[in-house]
Every structure is written in structure tokens, then in C-alpha cells.
């Protein structure tokens, strides 16, 4: 939590004003019972008269002398009096204190809202910025669902607890200590009753804290789980329906939802138990104060309005002190959940970034051509013992199309993820025009690349906006040309809104092939120096695939193209084909050369096409 509090620095003035205003309202609360006791003790009084039997007149007693109606029923007279001026004066003071406290309370609400909203916004911004710097390894370490939960639910928990703590951190000690001192000054014997209830409340707070902490820790993980199950079900709705697994997914969601609900109910039951117990303890202490006041009146210790005023003040102060302890209890109860949430946020912010941008600006204005060289590249994941790629070396020159093929898990996608530095090589180097990619700033490096991932990702908006995502200032003409090269024009023009047609979240209202073509158009529109297609033609029919490659060849005469594919037909005309097996290059050359020299390639080719079709 300490690391999270650094986000409050920009709002120091708001925090300071909250502290000042909270202190002001707390002092105001302490003054009100004192003024009320003065109204009773000074504004109300009794006049005592005794009968002078010699003159048969009633004489007023002074200097604090009194008489007793019980022992002198015929010769004692007591008259209740009030000093309206004193009542008005103290009443006006109380009204002024209340008015100023109310204004301060409004100020507290204003500054707490301002600080709270800004504090939460800055944490979310820091999380998003950090996640945007993650390599694929860091992103996969957390998972999408938990990143979403930590950016929303966890931030909200920390935000609420922090602001509540600032309001309570000064209120509780001022009310507790100040109320105790004021109460002792009014009546020490009655105040002693309060001290008996404090240890019981402290034990209750500790017990609740120990019970709810593990529950809140578990609760956040179960929220992650629920988010994960829901997200998977929504993203895979077509697969679920196709395989008739709707009931199974409903059961999965129900199980995760029930698990979360049961944990929440357990925590809620503890909270529900706490409230009546605290109220019982609170009312017991107040009743004890009243009882001991009754005994004091019976003993003659309290005999006038001043004594009664002290009892009233003590009851008010006991109420305030107990209420401050209840607020402390609530703060402690909320702390475990906020602490868990804060640790989860800190885990993201403290994650060491493995892909570091260079400070070297030497190549910011360089006009790269796009010649690529892999020099003895090895790669393994941080938590792995074995290399995924071993000694990968090849060249790709401008105007050439390089194809990468191999069995599943052979490392094809890993190779192309290394080029834009989604991962960094473990050893060896990757260069563009003889410049190590690690010496080129990430923004510059990635501006050279038009990347089409294996799974097409579309964003909410229009088709035109999705294509222009590759180039923000793309003209309508450039967007239409990119769509035409990507063979997307036909299905786009069939829609009523053409390029203004809406794309739903994740592109669920488009087929796999349509999404792939829009993604390809997105890469084409930016006219990069290097094109990377990670099995991006898999959802296209053979005719569309052939037409797209033909149009793409004309578009990429001054660029380098790297294609990862499973279809032999897609790569058969490539200038160089690299064959991978278990992270190693087992073949390199043109199609005809590999048919003769590489058994792995030959097996893949013959599994798809006949010898006649392979030429």
C-alpha cells in the first residue's frame, strides 16, 4: 500500500485541506456536548427558600445553601428558574459551530471526491501504461482476466479505503482522546465505565480482522476466475454453440459464480455479526453510564443541574468515543481487502520489464530499406530450461518473400515475434540494414513493420477506422486501395454502409476470412518496409488466397515480406522457404530445391498436394 500512496503526491493540497477540515469538524463535535451541558448547568437553576416562622416569610437561601423537601416539607420551597440570555447565547454558539462544521463537511466531500477520482485515475493510467510496455511473456504471466480485475475492482477497493482512511485517521484520535479528556473533566467516575468497554471492542476488532483477511484475499482471486470464465465464454460463443457445449459453459460459470458468492456470503456474515455485537456493546456502555449516574443521584453525589448537565455531557462523549471506535472497526475491516488489492496492483507496477527501449536516437530519422538478417539467434522463455529456437540464421532482402513453414510448435511464430521485439533474443542478434533491432527505438522499429497476427483482432468502430488503425492519417483513397489489395472490397461494398459499416467488439459480426482481410488491409495501408504475415491466409479460400498474394506482390516490390503459413500453396512461389523442426532450421531454399533436399518439407508438401500439383 505504501507504493500506492505515492500517487497521492500531486494531490497534496487536497489531502491537506481534508486533514484541516476533518480536524475542524472533529473539534466542533467535541464542543457541542460541552455547550449543551452549559445550557443545562448554567441556564437552568433552582431557588431554595425556607420559611421564617417568626416573621412567617420565605427567605431566599444564598451561597449554595439548600433545603430538602423530604425532611422539611412545610418549611422548604424549591422554584425552578431559567436564564434565557444564557440559553440563547450558548444556543447561538452551538448553531454557529454546527454551521461551520457543516460547511467544513461540504469541503471534505468536495476535496475527497476530487482526490479520490484523480487518485484512482492515475493508478489506472499507471497500470495501463505498464501493461502496454509488457512483452508477451509478462502479459501471459498475469493473463487478461486478472489484468482487467486489477485495473478496475482492485483500484476501486484501494481508492475507497484510502479516502476513507484519510477522513478517519484524524477524526478517530481527536474524537477518542478529546472526548475522553472532556468526559473525565465532566465526571471521572462515570467515564471510568467507558474504559471497561474498550478492551472488549478491541478483542472484537482483532478477531474480525483475522477472520476476514483470508476471505478477502481469496475473494479477489475468485473475481479473477469469474472474469476469466465469462470472457472465455463470450469470446468462444461460436465454438460453444457449434459443439453444443452451452450447458457445460453455463455450469462452469455457475460454479465460479457460486464459489465467489459463497466467499462473499462468509465475509458478509462476519460483517453482519459484527454490527449488532458492536451496537450491543455500545448501548451496554451507555446504559451502564446512566445506571451509575442514577446511583450517584441516590447517594446525593449529584444534587443540581450542574451535576445533571455533566451526566448528559458524559453520555454524549461516550457516544462519540464509541462511535469513533466503530469507525475504527470499519476501517480495519476494509483494510484487508484494500491491502490485498494494493499488493495485486503493486505486482503489476513492480514487474520488471524485459523489453527495454533504447535511449539511442541515432536511427530515428534513418530511412531503412528493410533488409533483415538473423544471426545465430537462440531464444528461450524466462522460466524454461530448453531453447525454443536454436541457432537460427537467415537473410531476407528487400523485394523478397521469405516463407517459414514447419510442424506445430516448431517455433514459427516465435521467430516473427522477435523481429518487432515482442520478445528479445536470448543470444545472437537480429538486424535491419545491419542495425541491431535493440539499437532502434521501439516506436521507430515498429513503424517499419506491418504485422498481421495469427488471430485477427478488430476494434469497435467502422471498417474504415479499423483499416486506418495502421495509419491514422490515411486518406479514403489509401484505405480503399488497401482493401482492394487485401481482397476485402467485394464484401465491404455489399454492405449498406460500405466502409462506414460498424464492427462490433472483437469483430464478431464478421467471418474469420473477412476479419483476416481487414487485418491485412490494416498492414498494407501503412506501406511498411517489412510485412509479417503470421498464418494470416488460413481462413481464406484458395482463390482469394491466390488473388491476394498476386496483388500483394505488386504492392511489396520495395518491401520485405515474411510469411508464416501451413499451406504449401501459399508459399510455393516464395523466394526462400525456411523449414523448421523443433526450433531448428532443417531446410532452406526454394520449393523445388526443398522437394529434393528436405525430407520434412517433402512430407508436409505431399500431405497437402499431389506430385503433379507440386510441379
Residues 236-257 pLDDT 10s:
766 776 667 777 778 888 888 8
Cα–Cα distances (Å) from 19 to 87, 263, 328, in that order, read: 33, 36, 17
Residue in the structure block whose three cell numbers are 458524559: 314
pTM exceeds 0.75 for this model: no
Domain 456-527, CATH homologous superfamily name and number: P-loop containing nucleotide triphosphate hydrolases (3.40.50.300)
Tell me how far apart the alpha carbons of residues 250 and 452 are, in angstroms, rounded to a whole number: 34
pLDDT at 99: 92
| Cα–Cα distance measured from residue 135 to residue 124, given in angstroms and rounded to the nearest whole number | 19
Q: In which residue ranges of the chain is pLDDT below 70?
A: 1-2, 45, 64, 68-70, 220, 234-235, 237-238, 241-243, 298-305, 307, 332-333, 336, 506, 539, 609-615
| The pLDDT value given to residue 437 | 86
Ranges in the chain annotated CATH 1.20.1560.10: 2-349
Buried b (16+ CB within 10 A) or exposed e, 335-365: bbbbbbbbbbbbebbeeeeebeebeeeebee
Q: Where in the chain is the domain with CATH 3.40.50.300?
A: 369-448+528-615, 456-527
Of 547, 370, 570, 563, the closest CA to residue 454 belongs to 563
Contact 553, 391 (CB under 8 A): no
Tell me the CATH number for domain 2-349.
1.20.1560.10
Q: What is the pLDDT of residue 277?
A: 79
- What average pLDDT does the chain have? 80
- 332 and 201 in contact (C-beta within 8 Å)? no
According to CATH, the topology of domain 369-448+528-615 is Rossmann fold (3.40.50)
pLDDT digit string (tens) for 175-219?
Answer: 888 888 887 787 777 777 777 777 777 787 777 777 777 777 777
Amino acid at each position: 500500500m505504501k507504493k500506492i500512496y505515492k500517487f497521492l503526491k500531486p494531490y497534496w493540497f487536497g489531502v491537506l485541506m481534508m486533514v484541516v477540515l476533518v480536524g475542524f469538524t472533529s473539534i466542533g463535535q467535541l464542543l457541542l456536548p460541552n455547550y449543551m451541558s452549559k445550557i443545562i448547568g448554567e441556564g437552568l437553576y433552582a431557588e431554595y427558600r425556607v420559611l421564617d416562622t417568626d416573621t412567617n416569610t420565605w427567605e431566599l437561601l444564598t451561597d449554595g445553601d439548600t433545603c430538602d423537601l423530604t425532611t422539611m416539607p412545610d418549611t422548604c420551597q424549591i422554584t425552578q428558574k431559567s436564564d434565557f440570555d444564557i440559553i440563547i447565547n450558548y444556543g447561538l454558539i452551538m448553531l454557529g459551530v454546527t454551521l461551520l462544521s457543516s460547511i467544513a463537511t461540504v469541503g471534505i466531500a468536495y476535496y475527497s471526491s476530487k482526490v479520490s477520482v484523480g487518485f484512482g485515475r492515475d493508478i489506472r493510467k499507471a497500470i495501463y501504461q505498464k501493461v502496454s510496455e509488457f512483452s508477451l511473456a509478462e502479459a501471459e504471466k498475469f493473463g487478461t482476466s486478472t489484468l482487467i480485475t486489477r485495473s478496475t475492482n482492485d483500484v476501486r477497493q484501494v481508492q475507497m479505503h484510502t479516502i476513507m482512511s484519510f477522513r478517519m485517521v484524524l477524526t478517530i484520535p481527536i474524537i477518542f482522546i478529546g472526548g475522553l479528556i472532556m468526559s473525565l473533566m465532566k465526571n471521572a467516575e462515570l467515564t471510568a465505565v467507558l474504559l471497561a468497554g474498550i478492551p472488549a471492542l478491541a478483542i472484537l476488532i482483532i478477531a474480525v480482522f483475522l477472520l476476514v483477511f483470508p476471505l478477502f484475499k481469496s475473494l479477489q482471486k475468485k473475481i479473477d476466475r469469474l472474469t476469466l470464465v465469462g470472457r472465455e465464454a463470450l469470446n468462444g460463443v461460436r465454438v460453444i454453440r457449434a459443439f453444443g457445449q452451452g450447458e457445460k459453459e453455463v455450469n462452469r460459470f455457475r460454479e465460479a459464480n457460486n464459489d465467489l458468492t459463497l466467499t462473499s456470503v462468509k465475509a458478509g456474515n462476519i460483517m453482519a455479526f459484527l454490527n449488532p455485537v458492536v451496537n450491543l456493546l455500545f448501548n451496554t456502555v451507555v446504559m451502564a453510564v446512566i445506571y451509575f449516574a442514577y446511583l450517584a443521584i441516590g447517594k446525593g453525589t449529584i444534587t443540581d443541574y450542574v451535576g445533571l448537565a455533566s451526566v448528559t455531557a458524559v453520555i454524549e462523549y461516550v457516544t462519540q468515543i464509541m462511535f469513533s471506535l466503530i469507525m475504527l472497526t470499519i476501517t480495519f475491516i476494509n483494510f484487508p481487502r484494500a491491502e490485498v488489492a494494493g499488493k495485486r496492483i503493486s505486482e503489476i507496477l513492480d514487474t520488471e520489464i524485459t523489453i527495454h527501449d533504447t535511449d539511442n536516437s541515432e536511427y530515428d530519422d534513418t530511412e531503412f530499406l528493410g533488409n533483415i538478417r538473423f544471426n545465430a539467434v537462440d531464444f528461450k522463455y524466462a522460466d524454461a530450461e530448453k531453447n525454443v529456437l536454436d541457432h537460427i540464421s537467415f537473410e531476407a532482402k528487400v523485394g523478397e518473400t521469405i516463407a517459414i513453414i514447419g510442424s506445430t510448435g516448431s517455433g514459427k511464430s516465435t521467430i516473427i515475434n522477435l523481429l518487432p521485439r515482442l520478445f528479445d533474443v536470448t543470444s545472437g542478434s537480429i538486424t535491419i540494414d545491419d542495425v541491431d533491432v535493440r539499437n532502434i527505438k521501439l516506436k521507430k522499429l515498429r513503424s517499419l513493420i506491418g504485422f498481421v497476427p495469427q488471430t485477427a483482432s478488430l476494434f469497435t468502430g467502422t471498417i474504415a477506422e479499423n483499416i486506418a488503425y495502421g495509419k491514422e492519417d490515411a486518406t479514403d483513397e489509401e484505405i480503399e486501395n488497401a482493401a482492394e489489395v487485401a481482397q476485402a472490397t467485394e464484401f465491404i461494398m455489399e454492405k449498406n454502409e460500405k466502409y462506414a459499416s460498424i464492427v462490433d467488439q472483437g469483430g464478431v459480426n464478421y467471418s474469420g476470412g473477412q476479419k483476416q482481410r481487414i487485418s491485412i488491409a490494416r498492414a498494407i495501408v501503412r506501406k511498411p518496409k517489412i510485412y509479417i504475415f503470421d498464418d494470416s491466409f488460413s481462413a481464406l479460400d484458395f482463390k482469394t488466397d491466390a488473388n491476394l498474394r498476386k496483388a500483394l506482390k505488386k504492392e511489396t516490390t520495395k518491401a520485405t515480406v515474411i510469411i508464416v503459413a501451413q499451406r504449401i500453396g501459399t508459399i510455393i512461389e516464395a523466394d526462400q522457404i525456411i523449414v523448421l523442426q523443433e526450433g531448428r532450421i532443417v531446410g532452406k531454399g526454394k520449393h523445388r530445391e526443398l522437394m529434393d533436399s528436405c525430407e520434412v518439407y517433402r512430407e508436409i508438401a505431399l500431405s497437402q498436394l499431389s506430385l503433379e500439383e507440386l510441379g
